[in-house]
Structure 1
Amino acid sequence: MTSSAKGRIPTMKTVSDPGKPLPGFPDALLKSTIVDDAPLNKLLFEVVIYPKRLTVDEFDWILDLYRAVCPKDRIRLFKIAELPFWSQVADPILTQSARAVGRAPYSFFEAARKRISAGRSVEAQLWDGCEIDDAQGTFNLNIEALKRRKQGLAWYVRFLFPLDFATGQLARLLRTLVDRIDVFSGHGGPVFAFARDKKDEAFTEIYAKARRFWGIDIDMLDLTPFRMRSELKSPCWLNALGSPFRDDPDVAARTKDLRADPDVTVFDQRHATVFVLGAEPDALDRNRLTKKVLVYQRMAEVMDGNILDVIGPLAGDGFISNAGATDAWLHRFSPASNWMAVPNV
C-alpha cells in the first residue's frame, strides 16, 4: 500500500463475492420484520473514525478515498447542511460558493469547505440512494462536525458498505484513515442499520438480536460524538486506539499480551494502533460461543476503564424498559458484564 501519510490513495478491491453474505452471519440475524414493505433493520459494514480536527485538505482527501472504495456508479447523491434534501451528483443544486469555484472536484461541497475553514458545524454526505429495502445494500459516506458553545467541535467520519464488500479492505481502509488523520479512536465491522422513520420498532428488534449476536455494533452516533474524546466504543472486529488511549501506560501494558495473541493482528499506524480481532468479522452467536469471543474479551481488558458508560437509553422497548441495558450491552465483553442476564423483550 502506498503511504497515506503523504496523501496518496491506495487502490482497493471492493467486492469479495457480490450478493453472498459471509458464513458468520446466519439467517436469524439477517432476516427482519417487514413493515410497509421494508425491513426494520439490516446488517451493513461500517468504518468509523473520530478525528480530533479536520482540515479542508483532509476533507478532500477523505472524499478521494471514498471514491477509491465506492463504485463510481454508486456515487449518486450528496447532502450538505445548506440543503435540507439530497441532490443529484450528476445534476447538482449548487450553493453560491459552489458556483463560484466552477469545475473544481466536488464543487458542490464548497459550502462544507467554508464551514471547516470557519470552525463551524459541518455535514457532508455521499450516498447511492439505496434504501433499507434494497437487496444490494448501500454505500454511504458521512462527514460530520457537531458544535457546542463550550465544547467546540466533535467530528466523526463514517463509511457504510454492503455485506459483499471485501472484508480485508475494511481493515485496510481503517489503517489508511488513521495513518493520515489524527484521531481519538475508530472502529469497524458489521453494524445494525435501521429504518429511521420506525426507530422504536427497529430498536426493539435490534435489542432482541443484540441479546443473541454479540459481534454486531449498534449505531449510537446521535449520543456519543462528544464523549469519544475520552471514551471508547466497546470492542468491534476492527478497533483503532489513538492518543490519549494508546499513550496511556496501563493500556500500553495490557496491549503487550494482546499483541502476542495469534488470533489478533496489530498494525501500528501513524496516529493510531489498529487491532483486528480474528480473520473475519463474526456475529458471535451466544448460542454457539466459541473461542472467537475470547479475543473480544481480551480487547475489552485493554480498553478497561475507557469504554463508554452511563449512555442512553437507546430506543426500543428492550433498552427503555430494562434500566441499564444500554450500558450492559456496551460492556458485554467485560468481566463483570450482566448482558447475559438482561431480560428479553
Structure 2
Amino acid sequence: MSEPLLDPRVHIDTEDVVVRVELGLTAYLADPRFWAREGAQQALDLMLALPSADLLRYYTTSVMTEWGEVGPRMLRSLRDGLTSRALMLEWPRHHFFLRLADEPNCPSVGFSYTEIDPRRTTRAGVLELTLPQGHAPEDLQALAAGLADIGPLYSLVGGYVARWNVLHPKLAFNQFYVWAQRYLGLDIQDAEEMAPHAPLGLPGSNWLTYLGEPLTKPLELDVAALERAVRAAPSVESLPVRSGLLLRAGALPTMGDLNRFAHPQSYAEVARLLEPHFVKELPEFWGAFTDTQRTGAWLRRLVGAEDWSA
C-alpha cells in the first residue's frame, strides 16, 4: 500500500508555506569544535552529492536578514566557508547558521546547520537535512549512516517529518496536531528548543533512530543489551555504523496512517525499546500542544497510543 501524499499547508493571506511533510532527518551534534572545523562541511558534501541538491535555490546565514539566491559559484563559496578554518578561528562561531533551501523558511529540499561554542553553552549543535516526500528513502538512510560516520552525535531521528515555517509556528503546530492524530509515524522536531536537552536524552524515535556514544555513555546505557533486544524484534534492524547504534524500523518509512489501518508496528517496537531514554522534560510545542499540554503524550504516542489519539 503506497503512502498518501500530504500537501503543504499555505497561509491564506501571504501564500507562504506554513508546514509540509517531507523525508528528513535531524541530528543533534556533539563535539562542536569538530563540526565547526570539518564535520559540517563534510555533511554538506553528502547532501550536494544527491541529484535533489540541484533544487537548492536560496540561502541565508546568521549574518543576513533575508534569503539570497544561490548559484554554482555562491554554493562553492558557501561550502568552502562553512569550516571555521576559513576564518582561522580556534573556536566555533556561537549560533552561526547556514540554511540552504528550495523554498525559504519551509523547504522540501534543505540543509540547515547551527553551530555552538561549547564554552558558552552545553546544548547540542543541530543539523537538519530534508528531501522531497517522494524521494527514495535509501538516500535518507545513506545520509543518516554517513552523518554517524562523519563525527560524534548525541542522536539522530529520520523518516517522514513535518518541516515548519519559523514565521508561522503556531499555525504550523496547530496543523501538525491534527495530522498527528492520524499519522503516528509522522515526526516533527523543534530543534532549537530540543538542543539544550539533547545531551540528556533522546528527542524521540522514527524510521531511523541513532544513539551516539556521547549520549549512551552518560546515560550508562547497555548498548549490547539493546542490540540483543533489537535482534529479537523481527522488523527492527541495527545498521552498520562506525560507533553508536543506528536502528531502522522496517524496510521503508511509513506515516502510520490510522485511517488506512496502517499502525506502524515496527516504529512502536523501537519506541518501546528506547522510551526509557527519551527526554524527560520535553519543552511544549507551539499552538494546540501548549494549549492541551500534550507534547509529552505525543512523544510517547507509539508506546501508549491510546493516551494520544483516543
What's the TM-score once normalised by structure 1's chain length? Answer: 0.77
Q: Choose which of 88, 97, 101 in structure 2 pairs with 1:127.
A: 101
1:25 and 2:4 matched: yes
Deviations 1:249-271 (A, max 9, x none): 54532331222333222113113
**Pair 1:295–1:40, CA change in 2 (3 A):** same
| Percent identical residues | 23
Partners of 1:79 and 1:33 lie apart in 2 by: 22
Partners of 2:206 and 2:73 lie apart in 1 by: 37
Q: Name 1:10's counterpart in structure 2.
A: none
Q: Is this contact kept in 2: 1:183–1:271, CA < 8 A?
A: no
**Pair 1:116–1:307, CA change in 2 (3 A):** farther
**Structure 2, unpaired ranges of 5+:** none
SS in 2 for 1:106: helix
Partners of 1:243 and 1:192 lie apart in 2 by: 27
Deviations 1:239-284 (A, max 9, x none): 1111145554545323312223332221131133211111211111
Greater C-alpha radius of gyration: 1
Q: Is this contact kept in 1: 2:80–2:86, CA < 8 A?
A: no
Partners of 1:65 and 1:326 lie apart in 2 by: 33
Greater shift after overlay, 260-269 or 170-179?
Answer: 260-269
Q: Name 2:177's counterpart in structure 1.
A: 207
**Pair 1:112–1:193, CA change in 2 (3 A):** farther
SS in 2 for 1:35: coil
SS in 2 for 1:228: coil
SS in 1 for 2:198: helix
**Pair 1:200–1:55, CA change in 2 (3 A):** closer
**Pair 1:297–1:69, CA change in 2 (3 A):** same
Q: Is this contact kept in 1: 2:8–2:18, CA < 8 A?
A: no
Q: Name 2:281's counterpart in structure 1.
A: 310
Alignment of 1:158-177 (within 5 A): 158-177=128-147
What's the TM-score once normalised by structure 2's chain length? Answer: 0.84
Matched residue pairs, number?
303
Q: Is this contact kept in 1: 2:58–2:68, CA < 8 A?
A: yes
**Pair 1:109–1:304, CA change in 2 (3 A):** closer
Greater shift after overlay, 76-85 or 222-231?
Answer: 76-85
SS in 2 for 1:165: coil
**Pair 1:306–1:337, CA change in 2 (3 A):** farther
SS in 1 for 2:160: strand
Partners of 1:163 and 1:112 lie apart in 2 by: 35
The residue type paired with residue 211 of structure 2 is: L
Partners of 2:227 and 2:243 lie apart in 1 by: 16
Q: Name 2:224's counterpart in structure 1.
A: 252
SS in 1 for 2:239: strand
Q: Choose which of 30, 35, 42 in structure 1 pairs with 2:12.
A: 35
Q: Name 1:9's counterpart in structure 2.
A: none
Q: Choose which of 179, 182, 187 in structure 2 pairs with 1:217.
A: 187
**Pair 1:284–1:52, CA change in 2 (3 A):** same
Alignment of 1:251-330 (within 5 A): 251-290=223-262, 293-316=264-287, 318-323=288-293, 325-330=294-299
Superposition CA RMSD, Å: 3.0
Partners of 1:215 and 1:91 lie apart in 2 by: 36
Q: Name 1:114's counterpart in structure 2.
A: 87
